[in-house]
Structure 1
Amino acid sequence: MTLAEARQSLDDVIHSPVRLTIMCALASVDSADYQTLKDALDVSYALLSKHAAILEDAGYLVSEKTFRGKTPQTHFRLTRAGRAALAAHLEALDEIVRGLASA
């Protein structure tokens, strides 16, 4: 893959720093609850909700709302498509990082 091909392979949905971090965090676990993810990323509720919605609209993650007693809980998990998209995005980034040495 050339540098140009790698650049063109970057996924614009994932490429945002917040969305890339969400995707990488979720790739390391089966699922994560909203509060844990919010705290780990050190972002506001609104920012996490906005970026999670973009990823969900793209089919990269699923949010599941449940209740623990009377307290609502939201859990996020990557879909298979999300895991595949992240792997392709990271592969393109690796190629870019190798730079001209890989040409």
Structure 2
Amino acid sequence: MAKACFDPLIHAHNRLQICALLESVAEMEFSVVKAQLSVSDSVLSKHVKALEQAGYITLSKRTSLARQRTWLSLTRDGELAYLGHVAALREIVGL
């Protein structure tokens, strides 16, 4: 169980959604995350960069059918930060 700790970096709406999506899978393609959030490439890239700089996610690039695709993964630190943030939110609302 992660220690409850409010994380202002994760709290931003889109970053919270990114972490929530990635928490349940090993990795997810950038385009799938983009579609789930209904945002543009540039908006998603901005949030991904912030999470990557914090060490919360990693990116890997692979070529498939002659196209380079980007995959996102939540790191262990990212998972702990996300779960801690969710625990803090639950404490705030009394759950």
Into which bin does the TM-score normalised by the smaller protein fall? over 0.9
> What is the TM-score when the length of structure 1 is the normalising length?
0.85
Map 1:1-103; keep pairs closer than 5 Å.
9-98=5-94
Q: Which consecutive aligned stretches of 4+ in structure 1 deviate over 6 angstroms post-superposition?
A: none
Deviations 1:16-57 (A, max 9, x none): 000000000000111100111100111110000000000000
Q: Is there any run of 5+ residues in structure 2 with no aligned partner, and where?
A: none
**Equivalent-residue separation in structure 2 for 1:37 and 1:31 (angstroms):** 10
Higher relative contact order (CA 8 A, sep 6+): 2
Q: For 1:73, what is the secondary structure of its paired residue?
A: strand
Larger radius of gyration: 1
Deviation at 1:12, TM superposition (A): 1.1
How many residue pairs get aligned? The number is: 92
Higher helix share: 1
How far, CA to CA, are the matches of 1:88 and 1:27 in structure 2? 12
TM-score (norm 2): 0.92
The RMSD of aligned alpha carbons is: 1.3
